[in-house]
Structure 1
Amino acid sequence: MAADFWSPVKLSIEVAFVAGIWVLILGLFFGKLMANTKFKGKPLVETVFLLPLVLPPSVVGFLLIVLFGRNSIIGQTIEWIFRQPVMFSWWAAVIASIVVAFPLMYQSVKTGFEAIDEDIENAARVDGANEIQLFMSISVPLALRAIISGIILSFARALGEFGATLMFAGNIPGKTQTISTAIYVAFDTGNMEMAWLWVLSLIIISFFMLICLQFMKSK
């Protein structure tokens, strides 16, 4: 029973951690880019970035299948390089988590970068700092609270992802079965004891992360 319980928990944390790294990298890049640039199509681009927040998980899963499935150019290229399809794999769960968690990271990081006084960055440029030095030494430290908030929220979102993961990665025990999909199967088969254990584990982890976020905001 212990092994049955811990396998989805371990897998969910691994998927959320790897997805969180990618989301952090993408969020920092696009958040900084969009905070400092203005162009005609900016509202449209930002709408695309935020769409996964409002789209039903089944729609996100369907689009991922279309983009990365065996009938798509991307899916066929991945299968040719790695000798296996991305669908119903561990990486499919990671990709689904990245897509649904990215908007939270992006919005938080962009807000943090927009709050930085441009005079501070311009002064650093005058002192000879290049854009990489400016980003690492000025922008990131000043927006650190927003970045940490984005990390916590996106990790929690990735940890609880269900619909897109179920469609795109499937529910293979020990391979793609996360806590959320395990809860669904346990409930469907009448195994309420295991369902409650997984539900409580998600509640505890999510509560701990959100309470840390609240303490950070209160300081």
Structure 2
Amino acid sequence: METWIGFTSAEWQAIGLSVKVALACTLVTVPLAIAAGYLLARRRFWGKSVVESLFHLPLVMPPVTTGFLLLLLLGSRSPLGEWLESVFGIRIAFSYAAAVIAAAVVSFPLAVRAVRTAMEMVDPGLEEASRLLGASRLKTFFRITIPLALPGILSGAILSFARSLGEFGATITFAGNIAGETQTLPLAIYALMQVPGKEEATLRLVLVSVVISLAAMLLSEWYLQKMKHDRG
């Protein structure tokens, strides 16, 4: 059944779900990326290279591999998955939560790289001066480090959002392709490509994904230019 401007209700579901998953993924990813980026930019510790490699592993692994590992960790037959389901009644695999987790894991390295680079560019002398003036490390972090690294944090958020919109391999492996629950835009496009005569519907969803991603990047660029202008 077709609705507004020729889109079917199933297509609207896929579009809305993709935006919802991408926003949830960004909200989950950004705070973790800020913590990880600060750790890598400001701390020296034994095994740092190993930790950094683990953070970036989803960036180089095939997404299907990431999804399979998530399935092994959180699937209903895994020890952790069985425990969550039996104790709390939480079933993660093949659910909306699984789609968010898959997108967050895959997009996390991009956000970390952007945040780490931004924090490395913050002058440590400013942080030291703040602490010498009596500010705590936590207050310095929120009043000095975060504001100065904000453009990079925003860039990481946009990258996380855009990457989650295009996530396919980990999502279909860990969350499945369930219409109305886990079928995001890439999965809906893939499903339509398998049906003869659905080329027009496929093209509509492809164009929607391009428009949403382009809008996100343009918004990011506008904000960065505004930040540069405001800072003189």
TM-based fold match above 0.5: yes
Aligned to 1:19: 25
* Runs of 4+ residues over 6 Å off in structure 1: none
Secondary structure at 1:165's aligned position in 2? helix
**Partner of 1:208 in structure 2?**
215
Question: Normalization by structure 1: what TM-score?
Answer: 0.95
Please state whether the residue corresponding to 1:143 is helix, strand or coil.
helix
| TM-superposition CA deviations, 1:101-134 (whole Å, max 9, x none) | 1001101001111111111000100111112211
- What's 1:127 paired with? 133
Return the offset for 1:12: 0.7
Secondary structure of 1:171's counterpart equals coil
Percent of aligned pairs sharing the same letter: 42
Which AA in structure 1 matches 2:219?
C
1:148 and 1:60 mapped to 2: Cα distance?
25
Q: 1:180 to 1:82 in 2, by over 3 A?
A: farther
1:102 corresponds in structure 2 to: 108
Query: Any gaps of 5 or more consecutive residues in structure 1?
Result: none
Cα deviations across residues 149-208 of structure 1 (Å, max 9, x unaligned)?
A: 001111000111111100110111111110010000001112112211110000011112
Name the aligned partner's letter for residue 18 of structure 1. A
Aligned to 1:198: 205
SS at match of 2:108: helix
1:117 to 93, 118, 123: 123
Residue deviations 1:64-110 (CA, integer Å, cap 9, x gap) = 11111122222112212442421110000000011001001101001
CA contact (8 A) 2:11 2:188 kept: no
For residues 66 and 56 of structure 1, what CA distance do their matches in structure 2 show?
A: 16
Larger deviation, residues 141-150 vs 130-139: 130-139
The correspondence of residues 24-173 of structure 1 with structure 2, limited to 5 A, is 24-173=30-179
The root-mean-square deviation of aligned C-alpha atoms, in Å, is: 1.4
SS at match of 2:19: helix
User: Aligned partners of 2:86, 2:126: CA distance in 1, in Å?
Assistant: 48
Residue pair 2:29, 2:108 contacting (<8 A) in 1 also: yes
Q: How many Å apart are 1:211 and its aligned residue?
A: 2.8
1:188 aligned residue: 194
Work out the CA distance in 1 between the residues paired with 2:77 and 2:92.
12
- Separation (CA, whole Å) in 2 of partners of 1:43 and 1:215: 35
Unmatched 5+ residue regions in structure 2? 4-8
Aligned-partner Cα distance in 1 for 2:19–2:221: 22
Aligned pair 1:9/2:12, yes or no?
Answer: no
* Further displaced range: 71-80 or 36-45: 71-80
